[in-house]
Amino acid sequence: MDLELTQEQTLLQQTARDFATREVEPRAKALDHEGTWPGDLVKRLGELGMMGIAISSEYGGSGFDHVGYALAIEEVSRACASLGVIMSVNNSLACDPIARHGSEAQKREFLTPMASGKLLGCFGLTEPTSGSDASTMLTVAERDGNGWVLNGSKNFITNGPHANLMLVFAMSRKNVGHKGISAFIVPTTTPGFSTSKPDEKLGIHAAHSCTVFFDNCKVPDLQLLGPEGDGFKVAMGTLDGGRIGIAAQALGIARAAFEKAVAYSKERKSFGSPLADKQAIQFMLADMATDIDAARLLIHRAAYMKDKKQRNTREAASAKLFASEMATRVTHKALQIHGGLGYTRECDAERHYRDARITEIYEGTSEIMRIVIAANVLKG
């Protein structure tokens, strides 16, 4: 793995950075405080080719690699973690599985408009009684002529209130565990599809999520993604990519908090000199910088392996585990360095601290990441 970025990766990073600093960062605090869905910025991501970064241009994407994708998510999340996850869900959880498992017709009809940002996607795996233990889902898909009828619900669906398409996992065969799960591409305009009001969350307030209900939703065979019964593997393989996106989001959040802590420590004086002169603060900054570097290396390794089409289940889990817990550590220290000011809504440190926390939970909790890593380590 070459640690030097390619010309294409540098270009993508710069494009994402320019967009994020000019158009996103100045609005991030207000978007979070008001809980406003950033519809115009989601549209801009599409115009910039960032809703299908690693999807081939033949299907509406930008044709970059996954290292480039991680760089772009980091830049956008540094400015606004909400926009970062909206983008990550569309790229990793909606476009990527269709690119990998979809038929030519599905790629034309569903992938192309999502990767080009014309339609927004979301991912329906989690249910009220099935989160970490994903294969115990209750949503069912019953055979009906040349199609399927979906009944059930999914919750905590990021992008759910605004999405046009949803990748839905449902039990199409009973009593065979995960081998009974199939994946379906479901337009949100399908009769019987409905959503709850957006969830009220601790952070990432501008990234709306909700519960989704299926009440006799008819889905034609043409919208079955991959073979019947392969849905769980589609979901797990998709999350191997998604976890790179969330790790990169955590990295972006940590970087934002770190950069602000460095600036504040130079400017704020106490006991006759800037905070930055105190070893207690220097040690915190040194640990934060090291944590951030380590996370980035793990993320790029997992992304590089995906680009090389190597199985990266363990590496993606390690990247997500480390980066998300690192973001919690770094944002905690950043808030501490800001003192009382850091605890106020006036200061971005509190937003970064709240935003970091979800990265330890969604797309697989830290506990599930440890289970995945240990299982792969022990397998040898």
Is the four-CA dihedral 145, 151, 156, 160 of positive or negative sign?
positive
Contact string 226-245 vs ligand CAA (x = CB under 6 A)? ------xx--xx-xx-----
Q: What is the DSSP string of 80-125?
A: -HHHHHHHHIIIIIIIHHHHHH--HHHIIIIIHHHHTTSS-EEEE-
200 counts as catalytic: no
**Nearest distance from residue 243's CB to ligand CAA, in Å?**
8
**Nearest distance from residue 284's CB to ligand CAA, in Å?**
30
Which residue from 132, 216, 310, 344 is in contact with ligand CAA, where contact means CB under 6 A?
132
- 295 and 319 Cβ atoms separated by less than 8 Å: yes
By CB under 6 A, tell whether 77 contacts ligand CAA.
no
Q: Which of 183/261 has CB closer to ligand CAA?
A: 183
Buried b (16+ CB within 10 A) or exposed e, 282-296: eebbeebeebbeebb
Label each residue of 238-255 as H, E or C.
HHHHHHHHHHHHHHHHHH
Q: Given the residues 23, 315, 360, 363, select the one marked as catalytic.
A: 363
**Nearest distance from residue 222's CB to ligand CAA, in Å?**
24
Question: For tokens 């934002």, what's the residue?
Answer: 256
Q: Which of 157/256 has CB closer to ligand CAA?
A: 157
Which residue from 16, 79, 134, 248 is in contact with ligand CAA, where contact means CB under 6 A?
134
By CB under 6 A, tell whether 158 contacts ligand CAA.
yes
- 79 and 28 Cβ atoms separated by less than 8 Å: yes
Q: Which of 184/258 has CB closer to ligand CAA?
A: 184
By CB under 6 A, tell whether 262 contacts ligand CAA.
no
H-only helix segments in the chain? 7-19, 25-34, 39-47, 66-79, 81-88, 96-101, 104-106, 112-115, 231-267, 279-307, 313-342, 348-358, 366-379
By CB under 6 A, tell whether 178 contacts ligand CAA.
yes
**Nearest distance from residue 321's CB to ligand CAA, in Å?**
12
Annotated catalytic sites, by residue? 363
Chain residues binding ligand CAA by CB under 6 A are 89, 123, 125-126, 132, 134-135, 156-158, 178, 232-233, 236-237, 239-240, 313, 362-364, 368, 371-372
